[in-house]
Structure 1
Amino acid sequence: MDNITSQATHSIKPLEPGTLLNGIYLIDSLQGQGRYGLVYLAFDQQTGKNVALKEVCAQSSNHQSKFQQLEAALEKVQRLEHPNITKTLDFFYDDGRFFIVMEWFDGDSLNNAITYQKLSIAKRYYIAQQLISAIQHATKQGFIHGALSLDNIMINKSGKTVIVDYGLQLLTPDIDGNADVRQLMPMPPEDIKSKALPTSDWYAFGTVLFELMNKTAPFSNKSVNLHYQSKLSLAPIHKYNQFANLNPLLEGLLTPNAKKRLTDAPLIQQQFDRALTTKSSRTGIQTAALITVSLCLGILILSIVK
């Protein structure tokens, strides 16, 4: 394995447009800086398609070991296929720098969508529905995201939602008193103290669902210790949740007891449907159902035309 340059993300000089990597990928533009590194729009000269090229940056002293583990994880992640999970296509080293090639998804983060867009109840229902399907598929295949958050969930103008960064939780820095509590928001209490479990992604979905419906975080974000204690108590849920009927579902997802956590996808979907089919939101659910049916019909028509 090539030697990897151990640098913090902000210290890495972005690649210039027109740079050719691995003899295949032509850099178009820098799209942004994510949790794990820089993200570029690139052109795959072999397939003739745009791809997302992520330059991954390890920020720990044992970065060599981290990248070895990452390679093994990505080889498995390449087998993960679902319409709401971005496909990992390739990974390679170029001049001591590590890159992951993923399907290009023309959209914005769910964090930005919640902050800057007015999302109808119908659209929020559709987003949650897609996430439940994606997490159910991944966990059945034995994959744990381990760092699911509003920042690595993407949504486009039509409302299609995808999860990115499967396999990259290995690069998450060790948690200490100076950790960014915002990044700890989707993590269950056991992750803060140890390692991700198969139930962790459902807990993360609970925090995403809370913010999706309320535009505010469900827990304290003052310090790592207070954040941890807040998660153990579950106290803020009733205080902030504007959709009271969602409380049983949220409590089932966000319970600090991993063994009692709600992880059955059909039951989660059922409880979510029931919670939103109130007098105030029935119209939104009906609209969401129409959207879902329309999308299915559109896909069927396209398949017939082809």
Structure 2
Amino acid sequence: MSTFRPLRKIKQYIFDKPYKQGEVLNHRYRIEKVLGAGSFGLVYRCLDEGDGNIVAVKQLRPSLRRKEKERLFFQHEINILQYLNHPSIPTLIEFFEEKDQLFYAMEYINGENMAITIFEKKQKFTEKEALQFVRPLVDTIGYLHSNDIYHGDLRIPNIMIENNQPVLIDLGLAHCFNEKIIPKIAPKERIEKVDVEMLKQDDYFDLGDLLLFLLYTTYEGKTKKTLPWTEELFLQSGTTYLLRRLLGIDNKHTNVEEIVKDFNEAIKQLRK
């Protein structure tokens, strides 16, 4: 284990004290509770005293606020959210700085983090349920890609469930090549070295990995020997075909339209 990780945890414990319940941010957002703490930020549920709505406010960790790279990452996420308009991505309300701390307020997702659903509540997904749950995420990823944005961190903790539908959160590690969002400030030769196709395939792989994880929620191993998923899971041929392509085992998808087609075919097969 890296010696830097424990030191970072200690530093976060000392410096990254969350604001307390009842405190008001930006003369507007009264904190009701801390929703979570990630590697880069703290997230609060707040009452917007201006209009009475519930919002989420994200704060860059105080221990990172002096680091130019981390501030740029935070601003990068703000720039992306400010540009996007999609029902499965929280809407940015505003960003602000207070007492040398960086924040932004966004739409509150009235749902549950998928990590709680899976790891604490132990919810299981049938093959059909898993396909139907991940299917809307394909559209969200397609929307991002159409705007030259690649999420790069499509994991269970970065998905909320609202009205049984997935909402994609945390774009802090997203790669953006849309000049309307992020002006080109890097040298041309550096930009040209970025493998956009690899970033696209990484998002496709993450979709497949998420689908496979959900399919395993109903798996009950009958042997201690670890076998490939193709042998442990008894899936319809359409689902297997979809997974093999998403995971890059064979005949990788070249665009989101192909993925949508394969998802629809797999779901249709289960209806027969």
- When normalised by structure 2's length, the TM-score is 0.73
CA deviations on 1:106-135 (whole Å, 9 max, x unpaired) are 111223323422445554333212101111
- 1:23 corresponding residue in structure 2: 27
Question: 1:99 deviation in Å?
Answer: 1.9
- 1:209 corresponding residue in structure 2: 211
- 1:274 corresponding residue in structure 2: 265
CA contact (8 A) 2:124 2:214 kept: no
CA contact (8 A) 2:48 2:54 kept: yes
Tell me if 1:57 matches 2:65.
Answer: no
Tell me if 1:160 matches 2:151.
Answer: no
Distance 1:76 1:276, change over 3 A: closer
CA contact (8 A) 2:152 2:203 kept: yes
1:114-125 counterparts in 2 under 5 A?
114-115=118-119, 116-125=122-131
For 1:105, give the aligned amino acid.
I
Distance 1:152 1:103 in 2: 15
Distance 1:272 1:41, change over 3 A: same
1:226-241 counterparts in 2 under 5 A?
236-241=228-233
1:67-78 counterparts in 2 under 5 A?
67-78=71-82
CA deviations on 1:185-240 (whole Å, 9 max, x unpaired) are xxxxxx9xxx97233222211111111222399xxxxxxxxxxxxxxxxx944244
Distance 2:198 2:212 in 1: 20
- 1:139 corresponding residue in structure 2: 145
For 2:17, give the aligned amino acid.
K
1:94-113 counterparts in 2 under 5 A?
94-113=98-117
- When normalised by structure 1's length, the TM-score is 0.65
3-state SS of 2:200 partner = coil
3-state SS of 1:131 partner = helix
For 1:150, give the aligned amino acid.
I
Unaligned 5+ segments in structure 2 are 1-7, 176-193, 220-226
Tell me if 1:249 matches 2:254.
Answer: no
CA contact (8 A) 1:214 1:242 kept: no
Distance 1:243 1:114, change over 3 A: farther
For 2:131, give the aligned amino acid.
Y
For 1:255, give the aligned amino acid.
G
CA contact (8 A) 1:238 1:244 kept: no
Distance 2:83 2:35 in 1: 26
Percentage of matched positions with identical amino acids: 25
Q: Which deviates more, 70-79 or 18-27?
A: 70-79
Distance 1:62 1:95 in 2: 13
CA contact (8 A) 1:241 1:247 kept: no
Distance 1:266 1:252, change over 3 A: same
In angstroms, what is the RMSD of aligned CA positions?
Answer: 3.3
Distance 1:64 1:128 in 2: 36
Distance 1:272 1:91 in 2: 37
Distance 1:268 1:14 in 2: 41
CA contact (8 A) 1:77 1:88 kept: yes
